Amino acid sequence: AQRVTQPEKLLSVFKGAPVELKCNYSYSGSPELFWYVQYSRQRLQLLLRHISRESIKGFTADLNKGETSFHLKKPFAQEEDSAMYYCALRSGGYQKVTFGTGTKLQVIP
Amino acid sequence: EAGVTQFPSHSVIEKGQTVTLRCDPISGHDNLYWYRRVMGKEIKFLLHFVKESKQDESGMPNNRFLAERTGGTYSTLKVQPAELEDSGVYFCASSQELWGNTIYFGEGSWLTVV
């Protein structure tokens, strides 16, 4: 069975500090990993996916198959980054997505 | 282009009552999904439609939940009778192709059962 674990429910950092949101997964095959973000009073939206290896809004995430991790990082947090972040896994391209419990990022001015 | 729309945005009902949630996917999207987030838990998959057919309903919690997508356009998710543990946010999402495509989410329907 596939599973996504986000150990932190809440992460508070000061503006300008580095951010790392942790995500670990368990899946026997080759998964596709995503980060979704939900800003206050907005819909859930895709932030980035590991296969595109791109940086969105300064965030990056590297898939580490050895550690089965897909941590989300940003070198300098901004106030507008405050939101709920969900790590997610999709198996084999099929659209069914498994989500983690989410981490609330709070950037303190 | 309009996004995925859900109605109602908020609903408060009493235990034992019936609630019907509606989702209008992005036009042209054959794939429609329902997800649910119960307080403090992860967002969980409920079911997946391809057009009007149920492709995967493995996440439906029990037979009090009924999802339909007549004509392959909008979908409804009915909870009857509602229980306290059904409270949460119900997300609808849609995508164009089955494999490898971006899924677009609606804003969610908040359901509170009292």
Residue type, B7: F
B79 C-beta neighbours (distance < 10 Å), count? 22
Please compute, for residue A61, the number of CA atoms within 13 A of its CA located in the half-sphere on the CB side. 29
Alpha carbons B62 and A105: distance in angstroms, whole number: 34
Percent with pLDDT over 70 in chain A: 96
Contacts of B35 in chain A (CB under 8 A): 99
pLDDT score for A31: 82
Is pLDDT at A92 greater than 80 in this prediction? no
pLDDT score for B18: 97
Is pLDDT at A95 greater than 70 in this prediction? no
pLDDT score for A97: 83
pLDDT band at A41 (very low <50, low <70, confident <90, very high): confident
Percent with pLDDT over 90 in chain A: 61
Give the minimum alpha-carbon distance from A6 to chain B in angstroms, rounded to a whole number.
10
Q: Cα separations (Å) of B68 from A92, B29, B52, B74, B82?
A: 26, 16, 8, 9, 17
Provide the 8-state DSSP code for A42: S
pLDDT score for A21: 98
- Asked if B108 and A44 come within 8 Å (Cβ–Cβ), the reply is yes
The pair of structure tokens assigned to A81 is: 């980054």
Q: Which residues of chain B have pLDDT under 70?
A: 1, 98-100
How high is the mean pLDDT of chain A? 90
Nearest by CB: B42 against A43, A45, A99: A99
The pairing of beta strand B109-113 with beta strand B10-13: parallel
Alpha carbons B76 and B92: distance in angstroms, whole number: 10
pLDDT score for B100: 61
pLDDT tens, residue by residue, A61-72? 988 989 999 999
Residue type, B26: I
Is pLDDT at A28 greater than 80 in this prediction? no
pLDDT score for A78: 97
Q: Cα separations (Å) of B55 from A85, B19, B38?
A: 28, 23, 23
